[in-house]
């Protein structure tokens, strides 16, 4: 009868199993020393992003180079490109265009000549948290595209796996904080509220991935919690407690890294272009 007082789990059983399966896949294909010795928890501080820039374009370029470095992909060849600006839905103080197509925050594409292009929406260049999350997601696309093994659930799940992979690379704080924003705006002739979603997972799913990362890397929860939005800190601590009870970390630590026999970037079964 006292079961009604039990707190609800952070994720459903199915989503929890998917997270664990994805981390197994990531550790098997991209783990080893690259993860346990070199991956770090990237923080939204001047220590990690110290550059002073004068334009949004410079901000995007400098941030891209920094994200590549922390992802351990500094020498991976790829080109960063800005997308065309979104259509302005406001054509007059009291007139807006409904249902206009909005460009994705970022894209990843492999050209026929094997050139890799990552694009970003110019709007994210004004939001450092979202810019890092977007670029981390697209670089995670690049990384996971080289896997000789399909991700859990097949390539149809690639976007969800990629979001977890971005956390696996150390960008979990950015992914969680950028997942949902709700803010007030004011201009000369209008004001109101707006929201924005980033990525494919929910805030709780991002936090759960971050919790697994912290446990695997033996990083104190406080180091991450202090940089999260206030509403996400309790979710992180609850996720840590649940993961500890599941004892899945012990299982993940036994996963052996399998070095790739060759570069699988352009393998036939791997998607070559995606919008994120």
Residue 1 pLDDT > 80: no
Q: Tell me, what's the pLDDT at 90?
A: 43
**Separation CA 180–CA 127 (nearest Å):** 13
Average pLDDT, the chain: 84
**What would the pLDDT profile of 133-166 be if each residue is shown by its tens digit?**
999 999 999 999 999 999 999 999 999 999 999 9
pTM for the model stands at: 0.84
Q: Are 117 and 147 in contact (CB under 8 A)?
A: no
**What would the pLDDT profile of 206-258 be if each residue is shown by its tens digit?**
999 999 999 999 999 999 999 999 999 999 999 999 999 999 999 999 999 99
The tokens describing 269, both together, are: 């079964």
Q: Are 202 and 150 in contact (CB under 8 A)?
A: no
SS3 content of the chain, % helix, strand, coil (to 5): 45, 15, 40
**Separation CA 271–CA 156 (nearest Å):** 10
Sequence ranges of the domains in the chain? 30-275
Pairing of strands 273-275, 106-110: antiparallel
């Amino acid at each position: 009868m006292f079961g009604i007082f039990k707190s609800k789990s952070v994720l459903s059983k199915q989503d929890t199993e998917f997270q664990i399966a994805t981390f197994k896949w990531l550790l098997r294909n991209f783990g080893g020393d690259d993860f346990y010795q070199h991956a770090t928890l990237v923080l939204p501080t001047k220590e990690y992003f110290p550059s002073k820039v004068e334009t949004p374009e410079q901000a995007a370029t400098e941030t891209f180079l920094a994200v590549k470095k922390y992802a351990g992909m500094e020498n991976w060849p790829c080109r960063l490109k800005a997308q065309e600006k979104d259509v302005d839905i406001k054509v007059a103080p009291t007139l807006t265009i409904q249902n206009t197509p909005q460009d994705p925050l970022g894209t990843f594409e492999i050209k026929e000549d094997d050139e890799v292009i990552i694009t970003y929406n110019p709007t994210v260049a004004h939001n450092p948290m979202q810019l890092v999350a977007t670029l981390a997601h697209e670089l995670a696309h690049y990384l996971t595209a080289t896997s000789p093994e399909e991700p859990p659930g097949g390539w149809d799940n690639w976007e969800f796996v990629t979001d977890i992979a971005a956390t696996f690379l150390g960008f979990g704080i950015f992914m969680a904080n950028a997942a949902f924003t709700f803010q007030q705006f004011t201009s000369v002739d209008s004001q109101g509220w707006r929201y924005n979603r980033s990525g494919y997972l929910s805030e709780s799913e991002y936090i759960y991935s971050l919790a697994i990362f912290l446990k695997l890397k033996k990083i104190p929860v406080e180091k991450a919690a202090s940089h999260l939005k206030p509403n996400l800190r309790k979710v992180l601590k609850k996720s840590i407690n649940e993961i500890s009870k599941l004892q899945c970390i012990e299982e993940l630590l036994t996963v052996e890294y399998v070095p790739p026999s060759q570069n699988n970037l352009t393998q036939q079964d791997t998607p070559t272009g995606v919008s994120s």
